[in-house]
Structure 1
Amino acid sequence: MKQGKMPRILKKKTERDLERLIALAGQSLTADQRQKIKQHTIDETAGICYRVNLDGNLGVIYAGVKKVSKGYQFQFANYPFYRIVYTLGGSAIIDDYKQQYKCDTGSVYGFVPKESGQIINNSDAPWIHMYIHFTGREALNMYKKTILNSSRVTMLSDPVAIQQIFENIVSESIKHNENSQAICDAYLQILLLKLSSDYIQNPQHLSESKTTYLHCLNYINEHFSTLTNIGEVAEKCSINRAHLCRLFRMHNNISPMAYILKLRLNKAALILIQTDYPIKHISNMLSFKDPYYFSKAFKKIYGISPAIYRKQH
């Protein structure tokens, strides 16, 4: 998607839906602020959970994945929901008007209701992140048990596991079937439990191998749709292919190419739901060598062909 164009998910929502979402979130953005956010949003895929029980124990309001360019700035005040954001690639500055924090790849940050602050991307690289907004009677109690209650931004010791939960929530929030809300809420509970303090490792205690691994992970998360081999990753990260493979086996229990394929197929599933692009076009978008290989790989992971997956969702 070209910079400055309205994200595809927003095209599929009516203006009434957007205003409802803004009102629901208690945002008070000016027209100029909204225009600037749209201008620096390169791509966004999001889902709204309309079945949420605002008076229930724990519920996802909406979730998504977003890519923004340098100059992006989002200010918020008196926000009514809890919010957790995971950085897939690039970095951003979180300012709660008391202190500034840097969000790097593999980190999470959170805000509780009624807090104010701003999020800024002032780096040349795009900031790619997944977000979850939620509420509920048990939300505060569960949030307080996570490391985010004492540390605004935290580097994860196992970012891949957290990333997978985020992906599951985003994917389910987009489906809008009768079970999506319950599934999203269940994944949210797992996410909050995973973010307990004993699951987190302070960034200054990260080993050299973990730091190198996260650097490689950052590059892959930013460029997976165009990568054709792991040699490019190794070269960009100044290591050899064998070392790259060892790092992924050590910290992710998966090969680099298998991880890249997983990201591509997850993205393909979202594109199938969100658009009416032909299968061949999606295959080309994500650098599969041909539509047949794409369909075969997709069926191996999802159990059905891309065409049937689209029809069922």
Structure 2
Amino acid sequence: MSAQTQPPPGFISPRIGRHRHFFADLAPSHAPGVAVACGGWEQCAPDYVVERSHFPFQAIEFVSQGKGWLNLPGRQARLCRGSLFSYGRDTPHWFCSDPDDPMVKYFVDFSGRDAPALVADLQRAGTIQVARADVIQEWFEQLLDAGEQAGPGAARICALLGELIVRHAMANPLRTEEGAGAASLVAYERCRAALRKNFLRLASAGELARACHLDIAYMTRLFRRYGNESPYQMLVRLKMNRAAERLVTTGLPLKEIGEEVGFTDPYHFSRVFKRVYGLAPKVFRDGYHRGTTEMRR
């Protein structure tokens, strides 16, 4: 397996921006088992559209951000974060981005004699909304990492991760009461978006709840239901990720970096940073630059 080093095959749309692709064996296989032929991550353009009457593989696609529309034989669906859908060799399919909120999505294409059975239930469903979009996204990232490596071990990891994604999604669909579940998911995604946009100026989960016009207890339940961390844990993670970036890309004093991410007390900043990264900020910075220097020798 390898990352893209040559022009992509014709089924890859040119209407994408940033992307990651890997291509393994693009000759459809009828050998026993399941193999991953290729996979990728794509930022779709506003005019992104795919329309095919057939496809050489069994495919699954997962929307991690943005919105779009999907047409399969006898089915139409609105796509959003957490949508997972599949199409096969002889399945006509059409999907596109919402121009006002273009999709960001992952895909993986399977071949092998057992591939149709793996995705059969998902293809019968047409599209599902997964309960843990964050988990599915992380597994897709691991699949891409493995796909960019060489050797049979990497191919086996890709196949196992692909199967894990499909089976976990089918076993854990988003179960919603009529109307209410969809509204709660929208509220959760709105809170996450607000947190990612404003984490530098937010000091607490309570401030986020007020900004989103939600009760903090209800917002916390949303994060527990749809995510793997509390609002405060996500806030701290975003702040410390920014701090780590500033530590290794600038020569700013630690006190100033702490203030940038909302910590006026440098000792408090150091304790929180160490709790997240396992190292004090100065040790983290010194270790990074020491490692960079050694690599240049």
TM-score w.r.t. structure 2 length?
0.67
Summarize deviations over 1:87-141 as a string: whole Å, max 9, x none: 1122111123644321122221111112222211134112122211111111112
2:55 aligned residue (57, 75, 79): 79
Q: Give the secondary-structure state (helix, strand or coil) at the position aligned to 2:140.
A: helix
Aligned length: 258
**Quick one: structure 1 residues 226 and 97, their matched pair in 2 at CA, closer, same or farther if it must change by over 3 Å?**
farther
1:154 aligned residue (119, 123, 128): 128
Q: Give the secondary-structure state (helix, strand or coil) at the position aligned to 2:18.
A: strand
2:172 equivalent to 1:199: yes
Corresponding residue for residue 254 of structure 2: none
Corresponding residue for residue 8 of structure 1: none
CA distance in 2, matches of 1:252, 1:216: 9
Deviation at 1:164, TM superposition (A): 2.8
2:252 equivalent to 1:280: no
Corresponding residue for residue 190 of structure 1: 164
Q: Give the secondary-structure state (helix, strand or coil) at the position aligned to 1:129.
A: strand
2:86 aligned residue (110, 134, 149): 110
Q: CA RMSD in A?
A: 4.3
CA distance in 2, matches of 1:52, 1:225: 43
Summarize deviations over 1:230-253 as a string: whole Å, max 9, x none: 678646643255543332134434
CA distance in 2, matches of 1:200, 1:176: 33
Corresponding residue for residue 116 of structure 2: 140
Corresponding residue for residue 244 of structure 2: none
CA contact (8 A) 2:188 2:223 kept: no
One-letter amino acid of the counterpart of residue 59, structure 1: A
- In structure 2, stretches of 5+ residues that fail to align are 242-247, 251-256, 262-269, 280-286
CA distance in 2, matches of 1:236, 1:259: 16
CA distance in 2, matches of 1:69, 1:305: 36
Larger radius of gyration: 2
Q: Give the secondary-structure state (helix, strand or coil) at the position aligned to 1:142.
A: helix
CA distance in 2, matches of 1:297, 1:69: 35
Q: Give the secondary-structure state (helix, strand or coil) at the position aligned to 1:109.
A: strand
**Quick one: structure 1 residues 295 and 173, their matched pair in 2 at CA, closer, same or farther if it must change by over 3 Å?**
farther
2:214 aligned residue (239, 243, 247): 239
Deviation at 1:202, TM superposition (A): 5.0
CA contact (8 A) 2:70 2:79 kept: yes
One-letter amino acid of the counterpart of residue 92, structure 1: G
2:23 aligned residue (42, 48, 68): 48
TM-score w.r.t. structure 1 length?
0.64
CA contact (8 A) 1:299 1:305 kept: no
Identify which range, 243-252 or 83-92, moves more after superposition.
243-252
CA contact (8 A) 1:296 1:305 kept: no
CA distance in 1, matches of 2:85, 2:157: 23
**Quick one: structure 1 residues 13 and 161, their matched pair in 2 at CA, closer, same or farther if it must change by over 3 Å?**
closer
Identify which range, 185-194 or 171-180, moves more after superposition.
171-180
**Quick one: structure 1 residues 70 and 179, their matched pair in 2 at CA, closer, same or farther if it must change by over 3 Å?**
same
